[in-house]
Amino acid sequence: MENTELWLPTLITKTPQDGFELAIKLSRMGVKSTQPNVEILKKLRPVYSEDANGLLASSQIVALNFQTISAANNYWR
Amino acid sequence: MENTELWLPTLITKTPQDGFELAIKLSRMGVKSTQPNVEILKKLRPVYSEDANGLLASSQIVALNFQTISAANNYWR
Amino acid sequence: MENTELWLPTLITKTPQDGFELAIKLSRMGVKSTQPNVEILKKLRPVYSEDANGLLASSQIVALNFQTISAANNYWR
Amino acid sequence: MENTELWLPTLITKTPQDGFELAIKLSRMGVKSTQPNVEILKKLRPVYSEDANGLLASSQIVALNFQTISAANNYWR
Amino acid sequence: MENTELWLPTLITKTPQDGFELAIKLSRMGVKSTQPNVEILKKLRPVYSEDANGLLASSQIVALNFQTISAANNYWR
Amino acid sequence: MENTELWLPTLITKTPQDGFELAIKLSRMGVKSTQPNVEILKKLRPVYSEDANGLLASSQIVALNFQTISAANNYWR
């Protein structure tokens, strides 16, 4: 990632739902860091969101990142 | 997710079975957040539930989320 | 799951082998909860058990659920 | 599994290598429990071992089970 | 890996974002160690970054490595 | 594995990089134990290293094994 902007200062969130949103953000950044070209990304976007298998693969990445964030937050117990 | 409704206040559930139901809910929300358009989601739905591979991929996401929720609940020991 | 029957009262089992059986049960319930229609499930069944890729995907879900159950049981140490 | 034979009395092994062997055994039992018919299993066997994708999927299940067994053994530290 | 250069002295990073960058690096090294031939890698590169399924598979590996690095850093709590 | 040779005496390594190398070795042994026939393995080898999807699947297994080894080494903190 050439991006030097600060976008992930912490994994700690106030609520599980905020943590879930962060998991979605992490998943998007993972894709973006592998393919930084915005034009190509735009072209591929429909596969993630309009193709069932791509959508399921995206959701699996969200689930993995939510595992990380939930543990980081000590599961908001 | 543009959705600002509170749908995930906690990962803590009373029983393992309630935790399993929450894992299913999380899995659905993961898909929904990647494709918020309800019309497109409806069109893709049969793939998750009537195509064997899609169904297995969905079940794998449920298993990942159940890992998270079970740990959050200290495995209901 | 419309099912209100109690089928998962605990993740605690007496032996690792009982835990493995529970992992298999969890995997089946995950599929069932995504596709509650028994007729459709029956039609898809051969894919999980007679198609090599479907069988491997099913086995992977069992492995994920066995991770959860093993940790819940403190690995039966 | 109709099998009532005791095949998994413990996850504890003497060495990491024994644990790796047990992970392989668990992976096989997971497949076997999903498809108990030995004739069908025999027919599918080449897919796991002679098809590259099937072989990689099998190896992934071994890796997941080795995670479980390694943690159970407190990583043989 | 024939590479004897030191490229992974530690999993500890200052911030979650640095950890995410390291997860990306680890993912690349995993691919590189499986296929050390730079010419072949170059030829395959477009699949990871311009094919939606390859891109999602790459992102999943990043998510797995980020789990490892986050835990190593005690989740930067 | 008919192999009785000692190849995995410990999961403990001196550095994260050594641990990464061990993760690669474990991944190879997982494949080898599923298909012990060296001739068939040789024939399949190009799929792992010259086919993008096979290469990504291999890398995912490395990532899973690196999770195990990193935890075993208490993340080399």
Q: What is the ipTM of this complex?
A: 0.95
Q: Which residues of chain C have pLDDT under 70?
A: 1-3
Chain A residues closer than 8 Å to B50 by CB? none
Tell me, what's the pLDDT at C58? 93
- Chain-chain contact of C16 with D30 (C-beta, under 8 angstroms): no
- The rounded Cα B3 to chain-centroid distance in angstroms is 16
Which one, of E47, E71, E70, E48, lies nearest residue E59 by Cα? Answer: E48
Chain C nearest-CA distance from B50, in A, is: 7
Which one, of B33, B37, B55, lies nearest residue B46 by Cα? Answer: B55
D73 vs C74: CA distance, rounded Å? 10
Q: Which two structure tokens, joined as six digits, stand for B51?
A: 């195509």
Chain A residues closer than 8 Å to B73 by CB? 75
- Chain-chain contact of B8 with A16 (C-beta, under 8 angstroms): yes
User: Does residue F34 surpass a pLDDT of 90?
Assistant: no
Chain D residues closer than 8 Å to C77 by CB? 12, 72
Tell me, what's the pLDDT at F67? 98
- Listed in sequence order, the residues at least 6 apart from F26 whose beta carbon sits closer than 8 Å to its beta carbon are D20, D63, D66, F8, F65, F68, F69
- Chain-chain contact of C53 with B53 (C-beta, under 8 angstroms): yes
Name the residue with tokens 């969200």.
A62
- Listed in sequence order, the residues at least 6 apart from C72 whose beta carbon sits closer than 8 Å to its beta carbon are B70, B75, B76, B77, C11, C12
**Looking at chain A from residue 27 to 56, which residues have their Cβ under 8 Å from any Cβ of chain B?**
48-50, 52-53, 55-56
| Crossing angle (nearest 10°) for helices E16-34 and A16-34 | 40
User: Does residue E68 surpass a pLDDT of 50?
Assistant: yes
Buried b (16+ CB within 10 A) or exposed e, A2-27: eeeeeebeebbbeebbebbbbbbebb
Residue of chain C whose alpha carbon sits nearest to that of D54: C53
Of E7, E25, E29, E33, which to mutate for an interface test with F (greatest number of F Cβ within 10 Å)?
Answer: E33
Chains D and E touch (3+ CB pairs under 8 A): no
Summary mean pLDDT of chain D? 91
Q: Which residues of chain A have pLDDT under 70?
A: 1-3
User: Does residue F3 surpass a pLDDT of 70?
Assistant: no
Classify the C-alpha dihedral D68-C56-B28-F65 as positive or negative.
positive
Residue of chain D whose alpha carbon sits nearest to that of C53: D54
Name the residue with tokens 């529970």.
C22
Cβ-contact C29, C8 below 8 angstroms = yes
- Listed in sequence order, the residues at least 6 apart from F7 whose beta carbon sits closer than 8 Å to its beta carbon are D17, F25, F29
- C-alpha count within 13 angstroms, C-beta hemisphere, residue F55: 27
Mean pLDDT of the E45-55 span:
85
Chain C residues closer than 8 Å to D33 by CB? 20, 24, 62
Lowest-pLDDT range of A62-76, B16-30, D32-46, F18-32:
D32-46
- Chain-chain contact of D70 with F68 (C-beta, under 8 angstroms): yes
Chain B nearest-CA distance from C42, in A, is: 11
Name the residue with tokens 């962060």.
A22
Which one, of F70, F57, F52, lies nearest residue F27 by Cα? Answer: F57
- Chain-chain contact of A70 with B67 (C-beta, under 8 angstroms): no
- Chain-chain contact of F44 with D55 (C-beta, under 8 angstroms): yes
Of D1, D2, D6, D8, which to mutate for an interface test with C (greatest number of C Cβ within 10 Å)?
Answer: D8
C59 near D CB under 8 A? yes
Tell me, what's the pLDDT at C1? 45
Mean pLDDT of the D22-49 span:
90
Cβ-contact B66, B58 below 8 angstroms = no
Name the residue with tokens 């796991």.
D48
Q: Mapped to the 3 state alphabet, what secondary structure does F9-56 carry? A: CCCCCCCHHHHHHHHHHHHHHHHHHHCCCHHHHHHHHHHHHHCHHHHH
Looking at the partner chain, which of A52, A60, A70 has a beta carbon nearest the beta carbon of B60? A60
Chain B residues closer than 8 Å to A59 by CB? 27, 30-31, 34, 61
User: Does residue F58 surpass a pLDDT of 70?
Assistant: yes
Of A56, A61, A69, which to mutate for an interface test with B (greatest number of B Cβ within 10 Å)?
Answer: A56
pLDDT per residue over E12-43, tens digit each? 999 999 999 999 999 999 999 888 899 999 99
